Amino acid sequence: MISGAVATLTFTLTLTFVLTFVLTLVLTLVLAAAPSHPSASFPQDRNADVYRLNLPEDIIVRTYQTAAVQNVLAAVNPKIFFGYWSVCADGKGFGYGYTYPSLDGHEIGDALLRLGRVDVVKANLDYVRSFQRPDGSLPIAVLPDMAGKPIGDGAHIATVAANGGLYEHWVPGNPLRALADPTYIQNADDIFRMTLDLAWLKKQLPSVNRSADHLATLTDARGAVSGAGYYVERPARIEYDGVAQCHAVDAFRRAAALNRAAGNEAAAAAAKYEALAERIRRHFTDRFWIEAKGQFAEYDNPARGLISSHGLTDTDWAAIALDVAAPAQAAVLWPKLKAEKGFYFGGMPTGIATRPDTYEDWEFTHGDRHDLAAMGRVWYLDAEARARMGDAEGLLRGIRRVCEEGAGNDGYWRERYQPDGGGGVKAAGPNTYCEYPANLIRIVQRFLLGVDMELDGSIVLAPAATEDWWRRGFGQRLEWRGRSLRYEMKDGGITGTYDGDGPQELGVRLPPSGAARAAVRAAINGRPAVARSENGLAFITLPAASKSRPCRFEMGREAGAGTAGTTEQRRTGGRRPQELEILSGDACRAI
């Protein structure tokens, strides 16, 4: 009887333990499966969905992850409001709860889109739109606790509007006047390219067009865009910054494309913005080009004329990066830009001018020379120009240097890197500033890997990769609009898988072949497929496929056309690239 009672008790305890364990396990799974707030800080749950960015250089892989997790995603703070992010990873630099929609807002917003945080970026755009005035003007900063108060330095003061928006700079000359409109248009364009949400676009378009129309008020009959320094304040670049001219062309081109994407009812607006873009482009290429020097003027001063005495400048980078320079001008300018080392203070990319020591006192309306420095915003133009011109080595060199800087500073970057007068560099500004890490993400995705989301729904992969990278292999997994693409580019070809609820047009830029007019071979699910050629890209249409049975594809040059290795060798041969783990988002994502 005692043994029976013991046995019964043992069974009861065992059953109780099992039930408790099962219930705990079920509860844990339910909580893990429950959706977190979309703007929550980047989770560290290693059981979350993991995607991989495969690159042959470990420092880029590791630093890219640090830029994403420790910087850009760490700056997102739903405690302020859903859609808020700081310009500094610590959430405090440049003011707790402050928003800087001009430039910083676009750089970080674009990086967040690349990290899958579409909902956050959309909400941020809604917030910024709430500060748009009837004339279309937008603030360069939103400082809620400074509403109605003076702000500035010494005798140089501006007043924050009653809504908390700063619409006029305190630096004399009011620089940055032309900055808010292009960055707002860029953000709307980037969101639509990621989502293809036509209903969203049509809702946003009136506000986007108001911003474009406000930018048009800064453009005179010649096509000159006023506003002083586009993204610099010291020097003030009064009154026509060359960088502003190029960004205005880009902004009007984007506004026109968005209006065309919205349908026939917006065709008149599209034509208007296309005409403005062309007027500004023509004026810039005629007025700013210095034939004797083979470069563009840095800016146009109403009293002193064209200023081009500081060597090559970021205006030159912008002219090529944003496809504003005429082909003949680019042919003359590019060899100089490509080889010029004066932009890199202590090797850090990229300074605003190659001869910063030649600026004169009259060029500064405020007491310091803070912007005579290497900055992430100039590096982005540098990288875009190198990608456009096919300079993969130069592009990688800049990426490596930025990665080294972050790796050597506990995974953070400063706001500015100023020349120290002895050939080196001194860091300045907040230590957790997000401009460099945000642009690292953008540059790796947009230019190194060449990922471009087109307005027609196609996705283009046009990497600016070296021969060594093509030999060793590189790739990633992308997810956008519920679709997934995993690919590897190696030995002149590409292999991969796709799953999604509809057909997907994929364009790929393959490396140059050793044979003239070499044909492109393609296969989908093991069967030959037709690849069409357009503007140097090879396009195939991938069929809809489920996640459990994704379609498999490959493209490459015909045998004997200079493409090394068989398909199987491209899949498995050589060193395995380093891998980067990331967590999923809800758009095109690859960290």
Q: For the segment 217-239, what is each residue's pLDDT rounded down to a tens digit? A: 999 999 999 999 999 999 999 99
Q: Which residues contact 154 (CB under 8 A, 6 or more apart)?
A: 367
Burial letters 443-468, b for 16+ CB under 10 A, else e:
bbbbbbbbbbbeeeeebbbbbbbeee
DSSP code for 264? G
Contact 572, 41 (CB under 8 A): no
Q: Which residues contact 67 (CB under 8 A, 6 or more apart)?
A: 406, 411, 436, 437, 438, 440, 441
Contact 483, 222 (CB under 8 A): no
Contact 248, 186 (CB under 8 A): no
Q: Cα–Cα distance between 248 and 388 in angstroms, integer?
A: 19
**What integer pLDDT is reported at residue 50 of this predicted model?**
32
Distance, C-alpha 359 to centroid of its chain: 30
Strand extents, DSSP E, 2-147: 50-55, 141-142
The confidence band for 9, taking pLDDT boundaries of 50, 70 and 90, is very low
Q: Is 136 left (phi over 0), alpha (psi -120 to 50) or beta?
A: left
User: What ranges do the domains of the chain cover?
Assistant: 50-451, 454-583
Number of Cβ atoms within 10 Å of the Cβ of 185? 25
Lowest mean pLDDT among 78-92, 260-274, 371-385: 260-274
The confidence band for 367, taking pLDDT boundaries of 50, 70 and 90, is confident
Distance, C-alpha 490 to centroid of its chain: 25
Extract the tokens encoding 569: 């060798």
pLDDT at 579 over 90: no
Q: Cα–Cα distance between 495 and 553 in angstroms, integer?
A: 6
Burial letters 325-345, b for 16+ CB under 10 A, else e:
beeebbeebbeebeeeeebbb
Question: Could you say which architecture CATH assigns to the domain 454-583?
Answer: Sandwich (2.60)
The confidence band for 422, taking pLDDT boundaries of 50, 70 and 90, is confident
Q: Which CATH number fits domain 50-451: 2.30.30.230, 3.40.720.10, 1.10.4160.10, 1.50.10.10?
A: 1.50.10.10
Mean pLDDT of the chain: 87
**What integer pLDDT is reported at residue 560 of this predicted model?**
54
Number of Cβ atoms within 10 Å of the Cβ of 138? 24
pLDDT by residue (tens digit) across 70-89?
999 999 999 999 999 999 99
Over range 274-286, report the average pLDDT.
98
Extract the tokens encoding 234: 């010291």
The confidence band for 269, taking pLDDT boundaries of 50, 70 and 90, is very high
Residues in the chain: 591
